[in-house]
A and B are shown apart, each in its own frame.
Chain A
Amino acid sequence: MGAMKLNERSVAHYALSDSPADHTGFLRTWGGPGTAPTPSGTGRRCWFVLKGNLLFSFESRESRAPLSLVVLEGCTVELAEAPVSEEFAFAICFDAPGVRPHLLAADGPAAQEAWVKALSRASFSYMRLVVRELESQLREARHSLALHRHSSWKATGSHRKPQAADRRSPGLENGYSPSKDCSSVDLVEERGSKPAGPGLAEWQGPASLYLDGRQSPAFPETSYFSTLHNCPSPGSRSTLVPGRD
């Protein structure tokens, strides 16, 4: 069984870089080489850093190399039946063959809830969902703006005043210009790569993405986004009732 290669040095650099951490804190963990198949004892207290869909552990806050990485894509997070006398535990579970849940324990109920929530929303898929939702809203807002302008041009001599747009887009009166801030954004005509706008690192491409109409069959419509936040879904279950079933 050959080991899979991974660009570990780059991954470690990313872990230690100043790119934003989505959650950090001390947790007790039971995974590790030479540990028993079922968790026992009080576990090992490590410093955990969540960045995007990656959960890193360090021996301490000052460590210059991560101890471990859990790639979170495709996971669900559940409150766990803790080992004896262990409270505030939760498990990262995967629907993959031969994979045991990763058991972790926080220091208190607030930390436990915060971690479960943060980990439940850590997937790339979830971030992509939010981005698509906002793209859709921005497209609608610009469409409304364009319609408003069109109707106000047409309304010469009419006694009817433009209505809703005044409330919804105050920028209109300020001479809002779509190209004011980022030259790379153009919702209708985006194709291929363009120079990155201000604030976007030269290492990556333009801000507009997924606007060429490509719909991946793997990801749901944006209407799913609302239900995601109104009720639990399989991908982001965070049942806050202790115990199972």
Chain B
Amino acid sequence: MRYNEKELQALSRQPAELAAELGMRGPKKGSVLKRRLVKLVVNFLFYFRTDEAEPVGALLLERCRVTQEEPSGFSISFLEDPERKYHFACCSEEQCQEWMGALRRASYEFMRRSLIFYRNEIQKMTGKDPLEQFGISEEARFKLGGLKA
């Protein structure tokens, strides 16, 4: 699958929700823990060698599962293969919790569900659709059903 790598690299340079140096181990058997600069930007997790400007790689966070593995470590896996895990080692339990919380909220799909929830709540409380005033109440992206792909 081709993808726009240059644009993704440019995205990795944008302001991050969270960034820190963490230990990271890939999903392959026999992978070794390496120090990486890990940066959360929108729904992508970028990871860099600590002395390099361009990312080694990126993880799209849609349909990901974030699991606590140790008091100060967590893993990211994906819905289609939950045992294939990317492991991360933090320096403290607190940092681990912070990252896990941020990663769980970092997908577009999660935001969409939140938006729909808030929209319904506001509608129940006020009797009005809060998106109507902005002329976007009919957009597919703000509905749970969306379009069939």
Is B37 in the interface zone, CB < 8 Å from A? no
From A18, A32, A65, A138, name the one whose CB has the most chain B CB atoms within 10 angstroms: A138
Q: Is the interface of B mostly helix, strand, loop or mixed?
A: mixed
Is B80 in the interface zone, CB < 8 Å from A? yes
Complex Cα–Cα for A168 and B109 (A): 30
Task: Encode contact with B along A200-213: 1 for CB under 8 Å, 0 otherwise.
Answer: 11011101111000
Chain B residues near A3 (CB, 8 Å)? 5
Given the known inter-chain contacts A4-B58, A131-B114, please indicate yes or no for A171 contacting B125, CB distance below 8 A: yes
Given the known inter-chain contacts A130-B142, A203-B65, please indicate yes or no for A182 contacting B117, CB distance below 8 A: yes
A14 close to B60 (CB less than 8 A)? yes
How many A residues face the partner with a CB closer than 8 A? Answer: 92
Complex Cα–Cα for A216 and B3 (A): 28
A124 close to B108 (CB less than 8 A)? yes
Q: Which of A48-56, A79-87, A152-160 contacts B (4 or more CB under 8 A)?
A: A48-56
Find the A residue at minimum CB distance from B6: A99
Chain B residues near A75 (CB, 8 Å)? 7
Complex Cα–Cα for A20 and B81 (A): 21
A137 close to B122 (CB less than 8 A)? yes
Question: Which of B23-62 touch A at CB < 8 Å?
Answer: 42-44, 54-60, 62
Beyond the given pairs A9-B81, A19-B109, 4 more chain A to chain B contacts, judged by CB atoms under 8 angstroms and listed by A's residue number, are A6-B3, A7-B59, A20-B144, A23-B140
Residues of B within 8 A of A (CB): 1-11, 14-15, 17, 42-44, 54-60, 62-65, 78-81, 97, 100-101, 104-105, 107-115, 117-119, 121-122, 124-127, 130-131, 134-136, 139-149
